[in-house]
Structure 1
Amino acid sequence: MRRRQRTPATLPPVPPPAAPAEAYAPAPAAPAEAYPAEPLTPAVGDPADLEREAGVARLFELHYSSMLRLAVLLGADDPENVVAEAYYQIYRRWRRLKDVAAAEAYLRSTVCNLTRMRIRHLQVARRHEENPPAPPDETVASAENTALLRDDQRVLIDALQQLPVRQREALVLRHWLGLKESEIAAAMGISCGSVKTHTARGIAALTQVMEARR
């Protein structure tokens, strides 16, 4: 009698050895300082911002009137906007100021530069206009400008406006603001020798204009 040959049973596949538990463990969290979390909202009360706000506000209280008067005397047709722009620029550059105590000098220099640029722009614009506007002495001054110049002799102011820009700046900074030559040089961006030259020429030209009006 033939014995039936048994077919070996198919065994299930042997699973691979289990990986160590640490292989599936979550990676350790990175140190907090490696990926600092960004705040959902901007930091409130940043000391640097608070210092800038307080500094500019203090600068406004102390020097706005004198800066406005400076712009008027230098011949700006829109002195309020000139001074506002000067304060805006110093606000933006406040953190880059090497010496916060020099903010007044920086502000004064900015007013001079902006007024000079404004005057040159108007001169170029008037050359290209068919009907140029009336000269400055015929324009109607704002009430604020009139109040600022009320104590000054109008004849002298009108004569001052006829001087070249650099001579006018030197005289205003020296005789109206009482600055030293070094301070005038810093405000105008020129040397002390050039300050002396512009001042001397301005005095001579102003004297000539005043004598011609008598």
Structure 2
Amino acid sequence: MGTRRDAAARAAADDGVSTLYAVQWRPMVRLAWLFVHDDLLAEEIAQDAFISLHRKWSDVQEGRATAYLRQCVVNGARSALRHHNVERRYLDSLRDSTRRLTAVSAEDSVIATAGSADLFARLQTLPDRQREVLVLRYYLDLSEAQIAETLGIAPGSVKAHAHRGLAALRIQMEERP
């Protein structure tokens, strides 16, 4: 009896996730890309979110699957960014020891200056929560309630993080046009 019930639950999960996958795959990859700015990593994060949804299909409340996916993508992007930051700090420490031996090239200075003018680079300087709120709000055009649900915070916190993030970007734009 339990085997039939398990098979029926798996079939329901397969059907539900397949249907959602057809509609939400691209938006979830896009959401992940907005955080990690890497095509392959964004696809991996989105795929992991769908796998997680399939595993938890019976636990996810009806009509909440898209929000669950968004939350998985945001959490996956956070993990990927934390991993990237650890790698970057390690590589920076290696570069610092190498820079003591060599001078910085003119090309490196120009590339660093040109890269800082990009809005994406400016977004990366914001605290994680502010960056997440701004990406969800202005790139995905989610409402405050949807953002709050995705990030697991109060709607008032969404407003505060958006306000602070926009203010910080405005200051950056005025300081470095």
| TM-score, normalization by structure 2 | 0.75
CA distance in 2, matches of 1:157, 1:125: 20
CA distance in 1, matches of 2:55, 2:10: 11
Alignment of 1:52-71 (within 5 A): 52-71=13-32
Residue of 9, 33, 46 corresponding to 1:48: 9
CA distance in 2, matches of 1:75, 1:210: 22
Conservation of the 8 A alpha-carbon contact between 2:130 and 2:165? yes
Gaps of 5+ in 1: 1-35, 139-153
Residue of 125, 132, 155 corresponding to 1:169: 132
Residue of 110, 125, 128 corresponding to 2:72: 110
Q: Could you tell me how far 1:65 is from its partner in structure 2?
A: 0.9
Conservation of the 8 A alpha-carbon contact between 2:36 and 2:80? no
Deviations 1:153-172 (A, max 9, x none): x9333322332211111011
CA distance in 2, matches of 1:76, 1:69: 9
Residue of 26, 34, 43 corresponding to 1:73: 34
Deviations 1:126-173 (A, max 9, x none): 3334436x9xx98xxxxxxxxxxxxxxx93333223322111110111
CA distance in 1, matches of 2:173, 2:30: 22
Determine whether 1:180 maps to 2:146: no
- Whichever residue aligns with residue 45 of structure 2, its letter is V
Which residue does 1:193 correspond to in 2? 156
Conservation of the 8 A alpha-carbon contact between 2:124 and 2:131? yes
CA distance in 1, matches of 2:174, 2:34: 20
Conservation of the 8 A alpha-carbon contact between 1:75 and 1:161? no
Determine whether 1:157 maps to 2:89: no
The structure with more radius of gyration: 1
The more displaced of 60-69 and 48-57 is: 48-57
- Whichever residue aligns with residue 81 of structure 1, its letter is E
CA distance in 2, matches of 1:165, 1:211: 22
CA distance in 2, matches of 1:48, 1:117: 30
Residue of 47, 55, 58 corresponding to 1:92: 55
CA distance in 2, matches of 1:76, 1:84: 16
RMSD: 2.7
Which residue does 2:90 correspond to in 1? 128
Which residue does 1:30 correspond to in 2? none
Which residue does 2:81 correspond to in 1? 119
Aligned length: 155
Conservation of the 8 A alpha-carbon contact between 1:71 and 1:111? yes
Gaps of 5+ in 2: 96-107
Which structure shows the bigger proportion of residues in helix conformation? Answer: 2
CA distance in 2, matches of 1:198, 1:107: 22
